[in-house]
């Protein structure tokens, strides 16, 4: 070996020895950089607190949560505690919705985000009133909006206002953040003709990771509005995404979901539900660095490690419940009070030429005109031809008189906030669902204990005709309501477009998300794989709003969609 080579080897050995001697002399323990990611998803213009059920110490309680003032107050408090320069606030979209959005075009939420947010990914609801309204709202914003699979370059209202990604430097860690929106945003909302959507999320994500890595990013975050199932699929197919901060599916992730990437690395997925009932806090501990030791050779030691890769060493996820214990930000509260005082009265949606009977004994026992309105509106909103919804979801227990229908009326008719899910069902499965609806009826000679019969499960329908014989055997579930033990024989006839239901044919059906998850004993729907469900996140009230607006004056009527044979027992629910 040549002398120069020997000298170089010895130099390296001495350098390494020097490092460890410095470490030993100074009691060195490697430092990790702490970065905090705060997040909300699907805020939905919920600027004031609202009531919801949450678990507190294992007990489910209904309390007031959320509201802009609490969100801003808590974010400011955490940023002050952890250090503003070490904390990023990310919002994953659907931050505009409902009466507040219709009244002010998203400005109240934009004012809030401009105080605390660092990056904003749009959701489908941001486009509900068209690109022009979103563009005007963004005129009030300095926070960057990002989305890599939207091309807005040819839309005058948004050109230059939505970029594919952004880079944030936090404590010398370069963080690349890119956005993704649900590929069917053009169906779910009103993006207009000038905006193009790239549905290939995997190719877009791969391109973004490559681009951000080439620009020296240490950590890659995907800020998405595609839903948790799509997030998991994306993570399993794309290398290089360290964290996915998600939205769209309203999923309250209590423990981070960790997905293995194709090359064996891991992607962390978090999401904090909807309407800012909770604020999510993800703490990342990034890479190991050599701290200042006071030794004269510190700079030399650092130079040895200057090329070391910064990675996530470990992490922590915490959900903050925004209840009354969270202090409100005074300035934001004044803004909320102002916008509340300027809210217009309930908006007129249209009018009905007929009374709409929403009494329980009507919507839970037979075809109802209001049930036909609900299901026709569902089909209209999502482009299906078959829709079913449980009668228990139609509320008011009264007759809505003919005349004006307002947004307040719609909220009375359906106060739950359920959204529409499109499912693929075989004729056999659809028959099971219809049998579940028929089992909600009580007959004179019913073999079941009346207390076990859930009348709210009765289905109102669109796009089909069915004949139910209540004297026949009803469908029955096991004691845990998780399995069908008696198939049921009450649905004696079903026709679709004049053709008998084919047990082997696949039908596309719109349902609400409550029964899609198995609510009211719809175990057939609850057991469907995710691949057979398309969660549109279009609310039933929004579907009614659009349908009535487009068809006013309306005059829904009973038209023979459901025929009931046999003798019903008295309605006692």
Give 179-237 as a DSSP string.
EEE-TTHHHHS---SS-EE---HHHHHHHHHHHHHHTT-SEEEEEEES-HHHHHHHHHH
Q: What is the mean pLDDT of the chain?
A: 89
Q: Is the pLDDT at 7 greater than 70, yes or no? A: no
Higher pLDDT residue, 55 or 466? 466
Q: Where in the chain is the domain with CATH 3.60.21.10?
A: 29-341
Residue the block writes with tokens 């807005």:
152
Q: Is the pLDDT at 114 greater than 60, yes or no? A: yes
Q: Is the pLDDT at 40 greater than 80, yes or no? A: yes
Question: Within 10 A of 172 (CB to CB), how many other CB atoms are there?
Answer: 11
Q: Is the pLDDT at 290 greater than 80, yes or no? A: no
- The confidence score (pLDDT) of residue 17 equals 47
Question: Within 10 A of 254 (CB to CB), how many other CB atoms are there?
Answer: 11
Average pLDDT over residues 324-340: 96
pLDDT category of residue 415 using cuts at 50, 70 and 90: confident
pLDDT category of residue 357 using cuts at 50, 70 and 90: very high
Average pLDDT over residues 84-102: 91
pLDDT category of residue 292 using cuts at 50, 70 and 90: very low
Phi, psi torsion values for 539, nearest 5 degrees: -70, 150
- The confidence score (pLDDT) of residue 57 equals 84
pLDDT category of residue 288 using cuts at 50, 70 and 90: low
- The confidence score (pLDDT) of residue 344 equals 87
- The confidence score (pLDDT) of residue 494 equals 98
Burial class of 434 by CB neighbour count within 10 A (0 to 12, 13 to 18, 19+): buried
Higher pLDDT residue, 192 or 571? 192
Q: Is the pLDDT at 445 greater than 70, yes or no? A: yes
> Residue 280 forms beta bridges with which residues?
39, 319
pTM score: 0.72
Rg (CA), the chain: 28
- The confidence score (pLDDT) of residue 416 equals 80
Per-residue pLDDT of 486-544, as tens digits, reads 999 999 999 999 999 999 999 999 999 989 988 899 999 999 987 889 988 898 999 99
pLDDT category of residue 102 using cuts at 50, 70 and 90: confident
- The confidence score (pLDDT) of residue 457 equals 94
Q: Is the pLDDT at 303 greater than 50, yes or no? A: no
| Candidate CATH numbers 3.40.50.1000, 3.90.780.10, 3.30.930.10, 3.40.50.150; the one for domain 348-565 | 3.90.780.10
Higher pLDDT residue, 114 or 31? 114
- The confidence score (pLDDT) of residue 31 equals 60
Q: Is the pLDDT at 573 greater than 70, yes or no? A: no
Q: Is the pLDDT at 419 greater than 80, yes or no? A: yes
Alpha helices in 83-184 (DSSP H): 98-104, 107-116, 131-138
- The confidence score (pLDDT) of residue 447 equals 86
- The confidence score (pLDDT) of residue 307 equals 46
Among the residue ranges 21-35, 93-107, 333-347, 392-406, the one predicted with the least confidence is 21-35
Q: Is the pLDDT at 4 greater than 90, yes or no? A: no
- The confidence score (pLDDT) of residue 308 equals 54
% of the chain beyond a pLDDT of 90? 74
Higher pLDDT residue, 320 or 188? 320
pLDDT category of residue 56 using cuts at 50, 70 and 90: confident
Residue the block writes with tokens 């003709």:
193
Q: Is the pLDDT at 431 greater than 60, yes or no? A: yes
- 313 neighbors 32 (Cβ within 8 angstroms): yes
Distance CA(562)–CA(202), nearest Å, equals 45
Q: Is the pLDDT at 360 greater than 50, yes or no? A: yes
Q: Where in the chain is the domain with CATH 3.90.780.10?
A: 348-565
Question: Within 10 A of 305 (CB to CB), how many other CB atoms are there?
Answer: 11
Count CA atoms closer than 13 A to 416's CA, side-chain side: 16
Determine the length of the chain.
573
- The confidence score (pLDDT) of residue 21 equals 44
Phi, psi torsion values for 287, nearest 5 degrees: 45, 160
Average pLDDT over residues 186-201: 89
Per-residue pLDDT of 222-232, as tens digits, reads 999 999 989 99
Distance CA(91)–CA(248), nearest Å, equals 11
Per-residue pLDDT of 134-179, as tens digits, reads 999 999 999 999 999 999 999 999 999 999 999 999 988 999 999 9
pLDDT category of residue 131 using cuts at 50, 70 and 90: very high
What would be the CATH architecture of the domain defined by 29-341? 4-Layer Sandwich (3.60)
Per-residue pLDDT of 241-251, as tens digits, reads 999 999 998 89
Average pLDDT over residues 403-426: 93
């Amino acid at each position: 070996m040549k002398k120069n080579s020997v000298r170089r080897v010895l130099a390296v050995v001495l350098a390494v020895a020097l490092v460890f001697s410095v470490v030993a002399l100074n009691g060195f323990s490697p430092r990790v950089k702490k970065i905090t990611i705060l997040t909300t998803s699907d805020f939905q213009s919920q600027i004031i607190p609202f009531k919801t059920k949450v678990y507190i110490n294992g007990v489910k309680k209904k309390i007031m949560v959320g509201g802009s003032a609490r969100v801003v107050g808590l974010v400011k408090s955490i940023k002050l505690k952890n250090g503003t320069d070490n904390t990023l606030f990310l919002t994953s979209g659907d931050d505009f919705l409902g009466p507040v959005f219709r009244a002010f075009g998203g400005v109240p939420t934009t004012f809030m985000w401009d105080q605390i947010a660092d990056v904003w990914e749009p959701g489908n609801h941001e486009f509900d009133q068209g690109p022009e309204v979103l563009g005007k709202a963004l005129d009030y914003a300095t926070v960057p909006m990002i989305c890599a699979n939207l091309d807005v370059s040819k839309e005058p209202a948004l050109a230059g206002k939505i970029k594919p990604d952004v880079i944030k430097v936090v404590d010398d860690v370069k963080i690349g953040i890119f956005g993704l929106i649900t590929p069917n945003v053009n169906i779910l909302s009103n993006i207009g003709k000038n905006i193009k959507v790239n549905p290939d999320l995997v190719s877009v994500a791969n391109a973004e990771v490559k681009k951000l890595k080439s620009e020296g990013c240490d950590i890659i975050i995907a800020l998405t509005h595609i839903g948790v199932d799509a997030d998991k699929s994306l993570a399993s197919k794309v290398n290089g995404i360290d964290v996915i901060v998600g939205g769209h599916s309203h999923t309250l992730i209590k423990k981070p979901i960790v997905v293995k990437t194709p090359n064996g690395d891991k992607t962390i997925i978090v999401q904090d539900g909807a309407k800012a009932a909770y604020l999510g806090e993800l703490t990342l501990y990034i890479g190991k660095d050599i701290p200042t030791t006071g030794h004269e050779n510190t700079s030399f030691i650092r130079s040895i490690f200057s090329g070391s890769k910064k990675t996530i060493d470990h992490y922590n996820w915490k959900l903050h419940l925004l209840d009354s214990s969270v202090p409100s930000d005074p300035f934001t509260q004044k803004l909320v009070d102002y916008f509340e005082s300027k809210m217009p009265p309930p908006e007129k949606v249209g009018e009905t030429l007929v009374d709409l009977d929403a009494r329980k004994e009507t919507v839970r026992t037979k075809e109802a005109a209001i049930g036909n309105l609900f299901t026709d509106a569902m089909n209209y909103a999502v482009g299906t031809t078959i829709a079913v919804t449980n009668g228990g979801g139609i509320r008011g227990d009264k007759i809505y008189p003919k005349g004006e229908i307002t947004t307040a009326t719609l909220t009375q008719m359906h106060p739950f906030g359920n959204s529409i899910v499109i499912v693929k069902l075989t004729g056999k499965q659809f028959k099971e669902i219809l049998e579940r609806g028929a089992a909600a009826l009580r007959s004179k000679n019913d073999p079941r204990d009346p207390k076990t019969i859930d009348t709210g499960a009765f289905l109102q329908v669109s796009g089909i005709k069915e004949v139910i014989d209540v004297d026949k055997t009803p469908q029955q579930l096991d004691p845990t309501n998780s399995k069908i033990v008696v198939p049921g024989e009450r649905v004696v006839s079903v026709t679709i477009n004049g053709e008998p239901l084919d047990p082997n044919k696949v039908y596309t059906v719109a349902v609400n998300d409550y029964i899609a998850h198995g609510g009211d004993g719809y175990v057939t729907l609850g057991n469907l794989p995710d691949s057979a469900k398309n969660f549109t996140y279009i609310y039933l009230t929004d579907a009614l709003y659009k349908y009535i607006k487009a068809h006013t004056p309306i005059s829904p009527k009973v038209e023979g969609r459901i025929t009931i044979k046999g003798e019903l027992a008295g309605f006692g629910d």
